[in-house]
Amino acid sequence: MAVKIKLARIGKIREPHYRIVVADARTRRNGRAIETIGQYHPKENPSRIEVNSERVQYWLGVGAQPTEPVRNILEITGDWQKFKGLPGAEGRLQRPEPKPSKKELFEAALAAANEEPGVEAVTPKKKGGKKAEDKEAKAEKDAKAEETKADKPEAEQKSGEGQA
């Protein structure tokens, strides 16, 4: 029985994910697999490649033939060079930088907040919202109205004295 190591596609449209599977050479692309030995996610940056190296070495040792895309993946991980006895068995697989945990991010933000010397809010705090603003505006209008009322009687008194 001819056995191949090939990619079985999973995932959505325009969002491919592949399983690296060992299957009979006569089966369909997504047909029945003997064993799943890895995953390949090409859309991530850098591409995520997970391969069970021990199982790959076993299947290559018993005569399984990798397809071209799988062979390229195995060269990146270094499994193909290890099988063939070539130099470069460590591979050239790029690992993404580990994401900091939420706890670490929180602690860093707290430390940054405590180190800043009295930085205040950009916008001033409101002590009553619109009500406080309305009261201030009303007080200003009342003050102006009182000034104009105070000015009118004086003018009327002066004009009234001349007529009487």
Give the tens place of pLDDT for each residue, 11-34: 899 999 999 999 988 888 888 889
CB 64: neighbour CB atoms within 10 A?
21
Domains of the chain (ranges, CATH numbers): 3-84 (3.30.1320.10)
The residue assigned the tokens 């195995």 is: 74
Confidence of residue 98 (pLDDT cuts 50, 70, 90): confident
At 33-75, the pLDDT tens digits run 899 999 999 988 888 899 998 999 999 999 999 999 999 999 9
Give the global pTM: 0.57
- In the chain, % helix, strand, coil (3-state, to 5) comes to 45, 20, 35
Least confident segment among 37-41, 142-146, 157-161: 157-161
**Contact between 52 and 38 (Cβ < 8 Å):** yes
pLDDT of residue 45: 82
Q: Which two tokens stand for residue 76?
A: 């990146």
Alpha helices in the chain (DSSP H): 53-61, 68-77, 79-84, 102-115, 130-163
Residue-level pLDDT at 30: 84
Query: For residue 1, what pLDDT band results from cuts at 50, 70 and 90?
Result: confident
CA atoms within 13 A on the CB side of 149: 6
CA distance 7 to 70: 7
CA–chain centroid gap for 109, Å, is 18
Residue 4, amino acid = K
